[in-house]
Amino acid sequence: MLRTELGISTFDDLLHHYPYRYSDRSQVTRIGFIDPRAEYVQLAGTLINIIEEGDGRKKRLIATLYDETGRIELLWFQGAQWMKKSLRENERYIVYGKLNVFNGVVNIAHPEIDLLNAETSIPGRQPVYPTTEKLKIKGITNQSFAKLTRALFEKISTGDVTEVLPVDIREQYRLCGRFQALRWLHFPDTEDHEHVARHRMKWEELFVSQMKIGRLRLKHTVQRGWHFEKVGDNFNGFFKDHLPFELTNAQKRVLREIRQDTGTGKQMNRLLQGDVGSGKTIVALMSMLLALDNGFQACIMAPTEILAQQHFFSISALLQEMGIPVKLLTGNVKGKVRKEILQELADGSLRIVVGTHALLEDNVQFKNLGLAVIDEQHRFGVGQRARLWSKNEMPPHILVMTATPIPRTLAMTLYGDLDVSVIDELPPGRQPIKTIFARDGQRAKVMEFMRKEVDKGRQAYIVYPLIDESEKMDYESLMAGYEQVKMWFNENTYRIAMVHGKQEAGERERNMQRFVKGEAHVLVATTVIEVGVNVPNASVMLIESAERFGLSQMHQLRGRVGRGAEQSYCILLAGSKTSDESYKRMQIMVSTTDGFRIAEEDLAMRGPGDMYGTKQSGLLKFKLADIVQDSGILEETRLAAIALLTNDPGLTMPNNQPLRYMLSQQGNQSQWGKIS
């Protein structure tokens, strides 16, 4: 039961099943003096009138507790049967629980209840453990946990709990021992103890994760890679004669970083972060030219067909005058054309290929892949990225590009093993996007506004939430929205295209292309278009039911406009029922276009759990630590891990053996490191 419900099957698991708060059970209140505003009370008295009421699912158990000052009802809605058997009338009990006020009368439902006799004492501070309804029904209550854990601590001593933090680290960072920390975490006598214990265990959690990252990084830095010795005619020629604009300083800096990395003889693993529209594509392209200059092939991989096509078109256009052939390989490329591409990749005559996951298929063999660029990486599964690894005798250099700005604290935890480059500057001449918040009631005005923009020759997006493609409601509101848009925009004058996840890929593709080519004025879409699409002529982004979107998602959507010289607009259209939190999100959107600020706010509001598709990664799951609130500890542990690994890279010193053992025991979470 404990195992299936909470994953507890050993004593060690029990030790690490931490209380999430403590109750103060040092005071006993007399029943007549209960303050109805108090949240929890502890009472001592005699139990009488134990009766069952109701039938079937409505069955409940009621009992009365009295002392010399008054009486109060205790209630059980679940496990009534079991409770009835275990309680005895006219015995004295000590009772602790949360007060309910019902019609001006107080009662306690599901209290903790214990016989009170000569041997029992008033408990004091008590741990409160996470538990489940199922366990409660079986009578495994919070007290059961406390008793089990207390009994366990009576049997063990310092020697039974292996200390994993080396002593010098404990001294330097003033951390208490592991046994003590665990005991105080469960049974702190004072708040101070609790604080000391919690701090130590959080520290350990973050330190262990930083050690894992640090060890991955060590592995990478010894990983040999292709040596790009020179900057040659492709790179220089493009830079001198074919670059359509002046590079921003940020773009130049990142290119320098990439040149340095690839010139060391070690494999590059670099994450390129740049807000939407910051100009990552050109950096990718020039890095690929660098690979060509050194006799290698290069590829760029995008998460969707549409994105791959866009890269393909823009890269072919840029390289056309130089006569460097580029080909597109996606799932839709079949038959003879495909065969030819595969042949050319294998014999090395095709040097630049743009594609989707199709590039990862086993029959795609490169002659000498020197660089793989991965765009919008958070859409790629970890395993898929890892497969690029096996394409060569030596791994290609890897450049991962993402438009999702990642707060520093999170980047440290997620990508600590990658080097990070940031494009923190937008190309000049961009007009900041105006963001407008509107209520559903103002729809007519909003539509009017959009029509005027379209009449000026621009295009507009209308995006509906579709969190889960299977959600029927969302789908219906999308369809209804589409019909409505067709009413607002006269069909004889305006052309409306629609894309969503339920369309067959080919159809979605065609509709999208109509918008990309400017044949459709308005694109009605779900978040399918969130990532990467580049239509510079689009100047309005209308987000429907904006209250349902997360901050980062809205920011990504907004980044679809403002790519041309025209003033662009993002309109957040919200329903009448918006929670405070969603209102706050929309206000943040209105107040800033800074992707990093938005990411920080998002992290603060949502916590890291479900951001960036990292939910399953395991790397962000800590029992106690919170990378936002504990960023100070995170920084300490990062430094400590670096210092330790500098001193003892292989963890061979006797002092470090327990830590090494623990790291080897804790499964291999190196998934993220396998990006390369």
Rounded to whole angstroms, the Cα distance separating 675 from 167 reads: 34
Choose, by CB under 6 A, the member of 215, 280, 391, 508 that binds ligand ADP. 280
* Token pair listed for 30: 């007399």
Nearest CB to Mg ion, comparing residues 273 and 294: 273
Give the nearest distance from C-beta 595 to ligand ADP in angstroms.
10
> Considering only residues 302-361, where is the footprint of ligand ADP by CB under 6 A?
none
Give the nearest distance from C-beta 284 to Mg ion in angstroms.
9
Give the nearest distance from C-beta 406 to ligand ADP in angstroms.
15
Contact of 229 with 182, CB cutoff 8 Å: no
From the list Mg ion, ligand ADP, none, partner contacted by residue 274 (C-beta under 5 to 8 A by kind): ligand ADP
Taking CB under 6 A as the binding criterion, the range among 244-252, 262-270, 470-478, 537-545 that sits at the site for ligand ADP is 244-252
Enclosing H/E stretch for 522 = strand 522-525
Closest CA to 550 of 498, 603, 590: 603
Nearest CB to Mg ion, comparing residues 213 and 512: 512
Residues 6+ apart with CB under 8 A from 410: 603, 608, 611, 612, 620, 627
Helix (H, G, I), strand (E, B) or coil at 540: strand
- Angle 438-439-442 (CA atoms, 0-180°, nearest 5)? 85
**Could you tell me which residues are beta bridge partners of residue 439?**
574
Helix (H, G, I), strand (E, B) or coil at 303: coil
> Considering only residues 511-570, where is the footprint of ligand ADP by CB under 6 A?
534, 536, 563
Using CB under 6 A as the binding rule, whether residue 279 contacts ligand ADP is answered as yes
Give the nearest distance from C-beta 258 to ligand ADP in angstroms.
15
Determine the size of the site formed for ligand ADP (CB under 6 A): 18
Nearest CB to ligand ADP, comparing residues 29 and 534: 534
Choose, by CB under 6 A, the member of 45, 111, 274, 407 that binds ligand ADP. 274
When CB distances to Mg ion are compared, the closest residue is 532
Rounded to whole angstroms, the Cα distance separating 537 from 567 reads: 10
Nearest CB to Mg ion, comparing residues 45 and 532: 532
Give the nearest distance from C-beta 423 to ligand ADP in angstroms.
7
Rounded to whole angstroms, the Cα distance separating 585 from 557 reads: 14
Give the nearest distance from C-beta 243 to ligand ADP in angstroms.
9
Residues 6+ apart with CB under 8 A from 440: 573, 574, 575, 576
Choose, by CB under 5 A, the member of 532, 562, 595, 608 that binds Mg ion. 532
Taking CB under 5 A as the binding criterion, the range among 86-94, 366-374, 524-532, 598-606 that sits at the site for Mg ion is 524-532
Taking CB under 6 A as the binding criterion, the range among 33-41, 180-188, 273-281, 383-391 that sits at the site for ligand ADP is 273-281
Interface mask toward ligand ADP for 17-46; x: CB under 6 A: ------------------------------
Residue in this structure with the two tokens 């929205």, named with its chain if needed:
481
Give the nearest distance from C-beta 17 to ligand ADP in angstroms.
45
Nearest CB to Mg ion, comparing residues 375 and 636: 375
Using CB under 6 A as the binding rule, whether residue 277 contacts ligand ADP is answered as yes
Give the nearest distance from C-beta 244 to ligand ADP in angstroms.
7
Q: How many CB atoms lie within 10 A of CB 370?
A: 27
Contact of 83 with 93, CB cutoff 8 Å: no
Give the nearest distance from C-beta 561 to ligand ADP in angstroms.
12
When CB distances to ligand ADP are compared, the closest residue is 279
Written as one string, the DSSP assignment of 55-105 is: -GGG-EEEEEEEETTEEEEEEESSSHHHHHHH--TT-EEEEEEEEEEETTE
Render the burial of 292-322: b for 16+ CB within 10 Å, e for the rest: bbbebbbbbbbbbbbbbbbbbeebbebbeee
> Considering only residues 396-415, where is the footprint of ligand ADP by CB under 6 A?
403
Alpha helix stretches (DSSP H) within 263-381? 280-293, 305-319, 335-347
The one-letter code for the residue type at 231 is V
Give the nearest distance from C-beta 247 to ligand ADP in angstroms.
5
> Considering only residues 427-466, where is the footprint of ligand ADP by CB under 6 A?
427
Long-range contacts of residues 1-8, Cβ cutoff 8 Å, at least 24 apart: 1/134, 1/135, 1/138, 1/140, 2/135, 2/140, 5/131, 5/132, 5/134, 5/135, 6/130, 6/131, 6/132, 6/135
Using CB under 6 A as the binding rule, whether residue 282 contacts ligand ADP is answered as yes
Taking CB under 6 A as the binding criterion, the range among 150-158, 239-247, 259-267, 597-605 that sits at the site for ligand ADP is 239-247
Nearest CB to Mg ion, comparing residues 395 and 532: 532
Using CB under 6 A as the binding rule, whether residue 271 contacts ligand ADP is answered as no
* Token pair listed for 481: 């929205």
Give the nearest distance from C-beta 428 to ligand ADP in angstroms.
6
Identify the sign of the CA torsion 174, 180, 182, 186.
Answer: negative
Using CB under 6 A as the binding rule, whether residue 245 contacts ligand ADP is answered as yes
Where do contacts with Mg ion occur on this chain (CB under 5 A)? 532
Where do contacts with ligand ADP occur on this chain (CB under 6 A)? 245-248, 251, 274, 276-282, 403, 427, 534, 536, 563
